[in-house]
C-alpha cells in the first residue's frame, strides 16, 4: 500500500536520493527545485512512499506543468492522476513516456494523442571530433544584442523570439549559456546554447548556423566546446529532437537515446 503526500524542505534528502540517480531524465525537476525549493505558490511536489516509508516516485507541479518521475512503473499512477484532476485550470502533463502513459488514461479530461519527442543524453566526451575550437567563444553580455539578432533571424526559430531580459537573467543566474562563432566582420554566424541548467545536468537548445555558412561544421564546433565544458563541470547533457536526421548529428557526438518524452496538452 502506498501513501502520497506533499513534500517539504525536510524531504529534500530523500527526493535527491531518488532523482539524482538519473540527472538528465530529471533535468526539469532538479532545476526547478534548486531554483525555487518547496515553499512556493507556483511550485509543489508530491511524493509516493511505499510501506517502508521509502520515497519511490514524485510529481512536480511548476505553474500549470506536471512532471512525474519514478525509477520503475511501480508507483501510484491513480493517486497522481487524482492530484492533477483537482488542479483548477488548464494544465500540461509531460515526462518520460512509460510514466505519463500510466497517468494520462486516468485523467478526468481525456487528452488527445500526446506530442512525442526523442530524448537523448550525453555522458562522455570520447566521441567528440578533434577540432580547432579557438574561434568558439562563450557569449558575454557585450555581444548579447548581436546574438539575439542572429537567433531571431533563424527560420527554424521563427515561432519564438528571444527576450533580452530573460536571456540576460538566465546567463547571470547560470541556468543558460551560449557558445558562438563570429564572422570576420563581427556578426554571430553559428551558436549552440544550454537551457534549464542545474548543478547536475543541462539541456542543449538553439543550435543554428547562418544559411550562408552552413555545411562548414560550425555548429559541430560550437557543440563540441559546449559538451566538453559541461562534461568538465560534471554535468549530464540532454536534448529533445523530433526528426531522426537531427538525431544522427547528435549521435555522432556521443548522444544516446534514453526514451521518448511525451507532452499531453
22-44: per-residue pLDDT in tens? 999 999 999 999 989 999 999 99
Q: Where do the DSSP E strands lie in the chain?
A: 3-6, 43-49, 55-62, 65-70, 92-96, 115-122, 137-138, 178-182, 188-195, 201-209, 236-241, 256-264
pLDDT number for residue 154:
92
> What average pLDDT score do residues 239-260 get?
91
| Structure-block grid coordinates of residue 1 | 500500500
> What average pLDDT score do residues 227-255 get?
93
For residue 182, count other CB atoms closer than 10 A to its CB: 18
Question: What's the CA gap between 131 and 120, in Å, rounded?
Answer: 23
> What average pLDDT score do residues 94-123 get?
94
Where do we find the cell 518547496? 38
pLDDT number for residue 195:
93
Q: What percent of the chain has pLDDT over 70?
A: 100
Whether 3-111 shares its CATH topology with 122-258 is answered yes
pLDDT number for residue 104:
97
pLDDT number for residue 31:
93
pLDDT number for residue 116:
95
- How far does CA 95 lie from the centroid of its chain? 11
Q: What percent of the chain has pLDDT over 90?
A: 88
Mean pLDDT of the chain: 95
Residue 160: is its pLDDT beyond 80?
Answer: no
For residue 94, count other CB atoms closer than 10 A to its CB: 18
pLDDT number for residue 87:
97
Question: What's the CA gap between 236 and 121, in Å, rounded?
Answer: 7
pLDDT tens figures, 173-190: 899 999 999 999 999 999
pTM for this structure?
Answer: 0.86
pLDDT number for residue 98:
98
Name the residue ranges covered by the structural domains of the chain. 3-111, 122-258
Report the CATH fold assignment for 3-111.
Aminopeptidase (3.40.630)
- If phi over 0 gives left and psi between -120 and 50 gives alpha, with beta otherwise, what is residue 11? alpha
| Structure-block grid coordinates of residue 142 | 557585450
Q: How far apart are the first and last CA of the chain?
A: 31
Per-residue pLDDT band for 220 (boundaries 50, 70, 90) equals very high
pLDDT number for residue 97:
97
Per-residue pLDDT band for 157 (boundaries 50, 70, 90) equals confident
pLDDT tens figures, 31-88: 999 989 999 999 999 999 999 999 999 999 999 999 999 999 999 999 999 999 999 9
For residue 246, count other CB atoms closer than 10 A to its CB: 15
Residue 264: is its pLDDT beyond 80?
Answer: yes
pLDDT number for residue 159:
78
pLDDT number for residue 194:
97
Report the CATH fold assignment for 122-258.
Aminopeptidase (3.40.630)
Cα angle 201, 140, 237 (rounded to 5 degrees) comes to 15
Amino acid at each position: 500500500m502506498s501513501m502520497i503526500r506533499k513534500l517539504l524542505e525536510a524531504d529534500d534528502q530523500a527526493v535527491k536520493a531518488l532523482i539524482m540517480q538519473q540527472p538528465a531524465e530529471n533535468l526539469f525537476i532538479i532545476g526547478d527545485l534548486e531554483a525555487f525549493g518547496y515553499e512556493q505558490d507556483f511550485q509543489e511536489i508530491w511524493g509516493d512512499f511505499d510501506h517502508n516509508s521509502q520515497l519511490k516516485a514524485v510529481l512536480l507541479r511548476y505553474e500549470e506543468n506536471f512532471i512525474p518521475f519514478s525509477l520503475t512503473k511501480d508507483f501510484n499512477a491513480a493517486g497522481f492522476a487524482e492530484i492533477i484532476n483537482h488542479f483548477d485550470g488548464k494544465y500540461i502533463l509531460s515526462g518520460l513516456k512509460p510514466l505519463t502513459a500510466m497517468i494520462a488514461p486516468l485523467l478526468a479530461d481525456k487528452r488527445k494523442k500526446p506530442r512525442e519527442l526523442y530524448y537523448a543524453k550525453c555522458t562522455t566526451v570520447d566521441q567528440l571530433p578533434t577540432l580547432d575550437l579557438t574561434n568558439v567563444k562563450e557569449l558575454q553580455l557585450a555581444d548579447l544584442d548581436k546574438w539575439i539578432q542572429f537567433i531571431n533571424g533563424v527560420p527554424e526559430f521563427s515561432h519564438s523570439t528571444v527576450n533580452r531580459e530573460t536571456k540576460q537573467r538566465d546567463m547571470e543566474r547560470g541556468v543558460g549559456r551560449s557558445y558562438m562563432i563570429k564572422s570576420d566582420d563581427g556578426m554571430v554566424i553559428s551558436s549552440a546554447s544550454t537551457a534549464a541548467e542545474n548543478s547536475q545536468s543541462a539541456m542543449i537548445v538553439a543550435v543554428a548556423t547562418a544559411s550562408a555558412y552552413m555545411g562548414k561544421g560550425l555548429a559541430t564546433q560550437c557543440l563540441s566546446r559546449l559538451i566538453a565544458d559541461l562534461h568538465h563541470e560534471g554535468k549530464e547533457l540532454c536534448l529533445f529532437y523530433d526528426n531522426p536526421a537531427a538525431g544522427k548529428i547528435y549521435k555522432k557526438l556521443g548522444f544516446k537515446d534514453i526514451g521518448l518524452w511525451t507532452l499531453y496538452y
